[in-house]
Amino acid sequence: MVSLAIHQTTTEFKAITAKQFLILKKIKRYSRERLRLDRFVRALPHSPRARQQDVYRLQREMQELRNHCVKLLEENQRLAYEVNHDSLTGLYNRRYFDNYCPQACQTAAAMGHQLSLLVLDIDHFKAYNDTHSHQAGDQLLQRLGQYLLAQVQTAENCVARYGGEEFVVVLPRHDFAAAYAIAQTIQTIVSTFNITVSIGIACYGIDGATPKDLFSCADRRLYAAKQNGRNCIVGSME
């Protein structure tokens, strides 16, 4: 299921990237045309009535070009958002996480700050889908995403949907105790959704010297939480 989601995300990213490339080419072309028209208008005499209509026409064309460039820029911003965000939950997606986590680890190492990673997974999600329908499952993912976005995501913290019912939370400037407290809060709030989550915690530098090792450690601890009966947190001080 996760591998299929990754393949679909990669295909969508390639398509969006191609669209962005075409949009940027159009923006450059229209910018050059705008510059050419602007120079032409400035070169015209200011007063001859015979040229006045040409001036008005060129000004209208320039305004149309400006409007078109604005629309292209807006479309490019929309595509850039889609590249980095999960369409169902509105959270960052795996692609963004894969880019952000190494940068956050590098910054933490350079500044001497701590960094923790949570990997969490909804318990018995397949059974939830089978019992309540896949639409209800999507609504549950959206609700969890909205909570994480509102209460956990910050200018530094990164919350992403990693795939399926699995989420990741990067917590710069958080040691194990602070990360564990956030994990407990997530469990408490999620329990009001009539579900439970299992969470694995790893700390950069202590549990993993690289972003890849950090994630692998947190993922193993998530698996251990599942093996311990679910609805629990497993971390470096367990």
**Token digits for 77?**
């911003």
**In this predicted model, which residue has the larger pLDDT, 191 or 46?**
191
User: What is the arithmetic mean of pLDDT over 14-19?
Assistant: 62
- pLDDT in the model for residue 57: 73
Nearest partner of 171 among 123, 122, 227, 113, judged by Cα? 113
Q: What are phi and psi of 162, to 5 degrees?
A: -80, -30
User: What is the arithmetic mean of pLDDT over 77-90?
Assistant: 86
CA separation, residue 61 to residues 52, 107, 173 (Å)? 14, 48, 52
- pLDDT in the model for residue 65: 74
Beta carbons of 118 and 171 less than 8 angstroms apart:
yes
**In this predicted model, which residue has the larger pLDDT, 39 or 64?**
64
pLDDT at 2 over 70: no
Mean pLDDT of the chain: 85
Is residue 166 flagged as an active site residue? no
pLDDT band at 70 (very low <50, low <70, confident <90, very high): confident
User: What is the arithmetic mean of pLDDT over 67-84?
Assistant: 78
pLDDT band at 4 (very low <50, low <70, confident <90, very high): very low
Q: E-strand spans in 110-229?
A: 115-122, 158-163, 166-172, 197-203
* Catalytic residue selected from 33, 165, 166, 238: 165
Q: How confident is the model over 176-191, as pLDDT tens digits?
A: 999 999 999 999 999 9
- pLDDT in the model for residue 67: 78
pLDDT band at 10 (very low <50, low <70, confident <90, very high): low
Percentage of the chain modeled with pLDDT above 90: 64
pLDDT band at 14 (very low <50, low <70, confident <90, very high): low
Q: How confident is the model over 93-115, as pLDDT tens digits?
A: 999 999 999 999 999 999 999 99
Per residue, the 3-state secondary structure of 26-73, as one string, reads HHHHHHHHHHHHHHHHHHCCCCCHHHHHHHHHHHHHHHHHHHHHHHHH
User: What is the arithmetic mean of pLDDT over 23-45?
Assistant: 67
